[in-house]
Amino acid sequence: MALEIIRPFAEEQYANEIQALIQQDHLPKPRNWKLSPAAVLVYMTGGKLADGTVISTKYYGSRRTLELAIATLLSDRALLLTGIPGTAKTWVAEHLTAAVSGDSSLLIQGTTGISEDQLRYGWNYAALLAGGPSEQALVPSPVMRAMESGQIVRLEELTRIPTEIQDALITVLSEKTLPIPELNRQVHAVQGFNLIATANDQDKGIYEMSAALKRRFNIVVMPLPATLEEEVQIVQNRVTEMERMLEIPLPEIKARQMEQLVTLFRELRDGKTLDGKQKIRSSKAHLSPAEAISILHHARIHSHYFNKNQLSADQILPGVINALRHIDEDEPAVLQEYNETILKKRSDWKDWYQALKELL
């Protein structure tokens, strides 16, 4: 029996949509792009094609943010998507790469332990010792492979990489050239090459980017959803998608439950009620849509196996408490205060109020 991949790359999961767009995209395409910039935007924002194919929405935020990101990939600068954790930076980077290059697998995960070799190239040491530096001994990085093929390469968590290692990218991004002095040659980037990096701007343990490297990027800030409705839509779509991947009949999430969780997140993030009439103590936690998606998905799995497939507030709220406790042991006190000053007064939140009172 063939094994099922848990999470295929975007170009595999949405292959039918990409192929339909390719067939109906009659606009000029940049060299080595699978789609025209306008078609890439349709792939990201969703729509219905002339043949009836429905393109699902991948990003619910500002259309202008996407337009700027797509235009950057055609410029002489690389693209840096930044913002707080959970604002869909990785998601957008992967889907943009899938739509542009048809291959989002050229990926580097930034860590404090990364070396220049992983950004530039390395060596097969057995071959190196046997015959010295040679093409056969060379091990290209994803960056080098993208340069040679004219594709997009992704770099996750750029600011997790020490500054002096980050700067190995400067020549690549400014000159579109990667010198290999050991072989007395250079790799020149082919048309279509570019780099999409992501970075959390409020995370701990980040390294400052040098001014020289910053100038090689167009920095696009990924905002949190502008409205309650937009955030609910994001959470609903991703939770539904994750259920399809799991292939078990999870309990239904009532629209009201999803709206309540997102409301709680937005109010604790903003330090005020949605109507703006009452200020509250804000949380240090990011409480992003990604966190809400994870909490609901886990609560549904737990309810399926351990609560007779019934999803209630007391199944959802432990995830919220844990998300706060991960930030600071005192954070649940913020939620407790919110429960007593805000939720206690809301007649349609009685089950949430009671569940929190018992859990905290």
One-letter identity of residue 349: W
Position 327 scores a pLDDT of 86
Q: What is the pLDDT of residues 215-267, one digit of tens each?
A: 999 999 999 999 999 999 999 999 988 888 787 888 999 999 999 999 999 99
Burial of 208 (0-12, 13-18, 19+ CB in 10 A): exposed
Distance between CA atoms of residues 337 and 43, nearest Å: 43
- Of 202, 221, 240, which residue is a domain's last? 221
Residues 186 and 275 in one domain: no
Q: What is the pLDDT of residues 126-138, one digit of tens each?
A: 999 999 999 999 9
In a domain, 4, yes or no: no
Position 247 scores a pLDDT of 77
Position 286 scores a pLDDT of 86
Residues 20 and 55 in one domain: yes
One-letter identity of residue 280: I
Q: Average pLDDT, whole number, for the chain?
A: 94
Q: How confident is the model at residue 339 (pLDDT cuts 50, 70, 90)?
A: very high
In a domain, 5, yes or no: no
Residue 7 has pLDDT above 90, yes or no: no
Residues 233 and 216 in one domain: no
Residues 208 and 247 in one domain: no
Reading the block at residue 213, the tokens are 């490297």
Distance between CA atoms of residues 75 and 78, nearest Å: 8
Reading the block at residue 171, the tokens are 């020549």
Q: What is the average per-residue pLDDT within 175-184?
A: 96
Q: Name, in order, each residue with C-beta under 8 angstroms of 49's C-beta and a sequence gap of 6 or more.
A: 20, 21, 24, 55
Position 3 scores a pLDDT of 67
Position 308 scores a pLDDT of 87
Reading the block at residue 26, the tokens are 């009659």
Distance between CA atoms of residues 296 and 235, nearest Å: 9
- The angle, 0 to 180 degrees and rounded to 10, between the axes of the packed helices 63-72 and 37-45 is 140
| Inter-CA distances, 151 with 33, 189, 192, Å | 8, 9, 5
Instruction: Give 194's strand partners.
Output: 152
Residues 243 and 293 in one domain: yes
Residues 149 and 40 in one domain: yes
In a domain, 3, yes or no: no
The domain total for the chain is 2
Position 205 scores a pLDDT of 65
Residues 212 and 235 in one domain: no
Position 1 scores a pLDDT of 52
Residues 75 and 205 in one domain: yes
Position 203 scores a pLDDT of 64
Q: Name, in order, each residue with C-beta under 8 angstroms of 273's C-beta and a sequence gap of 6 or more.
A: 267, 280, 342
Q: How confident is the model at residue 85 (pLDDT cuts 50, 70, 90)?
A: confident
Residues 121 and 270 in one domain: no
The domain in which residue 146 lies consists of 10-221
Residue 55 has pLDDT above 60, yes or no: yes
In a domain, 1, yes or no: no
- 12/246: higher pLDDT: 12
Question: What CATH number has the domain bearing residue 156?
Answer: 3.40.50.300
Residues 253 and 205 in one domain: no
Residues 187 and 207 in one domain: yes
How many other C-beta atoms are found inside a 10 Å radius of the C-beta of residue 207? Answer: 17
In a domain, 116, yes or no: yes
Residue 17 has pLDDT above 60, yes or no: yes
- Of 221, 243, 275, which residue is a domain's last? 221
In a domain, 280, yes or no: yes
- Of 164, 186, 221, which residue is a domain's last? 221
Residues 180 and 238 in one domain: no
Distance between CA atoms of residues 300 and 304, nearest Å: 6
- For 122, list phi and psi in degrees, rounded to 5: -130, -165
Position 242 scores a pLDDT of 87
Q: How confident is the model at residue 78 (pLDDT cuts 50, 70, 90)?
A: very high
In a domain, 234, yes or no: yes
Position 206 scores a pLDDT of 82
Q: Strand 152-156 to strand 107-109: parallel, antiparallel, or no bridges (unpaired)?
A: parallel
Q: What is the average per-residue pLDDT within 101-120?
A: 96
Q: What is the pLDDT of residues 277-317, one digit of tens each?
A: 999 999 998 899 999 999 999 999 999 999 888 999 999 99
Position 218 scores a pLDDT of 97
DSSP at 281: P
